[in-house]
Structure 1
């Protein structure tokens, strides 16, 4: 019989962090989607004399992801998550199961996390949106022309990610990667996001890109249309961030 994941999380925290200020169990366990092999995502708030870090370990046979932070570190991580438009830690504190709340620390962190989530991520700069429009237009041209099935799948991944990012920005919605991309894409726009995901699934299963091209072109129309002729960028030197040079 597998140990109860909540009890296991409590035992781990009591052993490793007896002086913790707050502990939140997040991820699939808190959401009720956990399986016997799911890892445990645990946010641990420690005093300012502690260390802000991330650690992966195995405890009583269960894989555990620890997100450890001081109050100062938590504020910095919240700010970094807003800047990256991901809000990973905010989601953990806003939706997780509170296992420990010393002096209301978990409640205060949750309130701040919920405020960040309500405010939404910062909008992309207009030039970044234009770069992404150009990148998506180019990728769609490649997708339509791709004859090699492996190349077609690779380009489809680019189309999905760039189109999703443009749609996230249009709705001022939090972005996601991996399994969180489809989840957050459907939260942001169930119609257009769903069409993108269905087009990608259809292409992967059949090799036919038509549905995906149609869905991505619809996203392009929402954010200003395809961009080919007239696109121009000036090289700004080695100090220019790579992400700005390759906005796709």
Structure 2
């Protein structure tokens, strides 16, 4: 066909482990590949597996608990405070990378959308909301090009605001 073909070989039970694992980590790699992939050979079973994969993709990931949301808010707040307080460009870059990862996950998961890695971060953000994805990319792009942190800071604060804003004081992990 003029392009690389990647083959994942499974039997009628082994693929289910990957579906479950992908669902739990909120990255539907295998269900997405199967639901969107081109069938090269079928012995009459693939339609039901493609249907199962499509249902998983359409269902979206499990809803985050309040405890998970608060833990994620804490880690985002901590990274944001590091970002605001840093005056070392090399550190700023890596803190921004951490913020981009944490914040993209937070936005997508609090909206019961799939997350991604690498190119799938921006693809997932676009699937969620094209305009938000544009603002997200622009804020980080401006920072990486100019060092101006303001749009990233404003973006993160706006994302946290509906959930109570930044969380630091009084947060405790592991205690009841």
Comparing both structures, which one devotes a greater share of its residues to strand? 1
**Could you give the per-residue CA deviations for residues 116-171 of structure 1, whole angstroms, max 9, x where no partner exists?**
11111112232121111011111111111111111001000111111111101121
Match for 2:16 among 58, 68, 75?
Answer: 75
Match of 2:5 in 1: 40
- Residue 206 of structure 1 pairs with residue 171 of structure 2: no
CA distance in 1, matches of 2:112, 2:142: 27
CA distance in 1, matches of 2:164, 2:104: 15
Comparing both structures, which one devotes a greater share of its residues to helix? 2
Match of 1:4 in 2: 2
Match for 2:119 among 171, 179, 189?
Answer: 179
**Long gaps (5+) in structure 1:** 6-38, 42-65, 237-248
CA distance in 2, matches of 1:100, 1:222: 49
CA distance in 2, matches of 1:204, 1:219: 20
- Residue 170 of structure 1 pairs with residue 135 of structure 2: no
Mapping of residues 55-204 of structure 1, within 5 Å = 66-103=7-44, 105-204=45-144
Match of 2:159 in 1: 219
Asked whether the 8 Å contact 1:122–1:172 carries over to 2, the reply is yes
What is the TM-score with the length of structure 1 in the denominator?
0.67
Counterparts in 2 of 1:116 and 1:88: CA distance versus 1, 3 Å: same
RMSD (CA atoms): 1.7
The 4+ residue runs of structure 1 with deviation greater than 6 A are: none
Count of aligned pairs between the two proteins: 176
**Long gaps (5+) in structure 2:** none
Instruction: Work out which of the two has the higher radius of gyration on C-alpha atoms and give 1 or 2.
Output: 1
Asked whether the 8 Å contact 1:81–1:88 carries over to 2, the reply is yes
Deviation at 1:200, TM superposition (A): 1.0
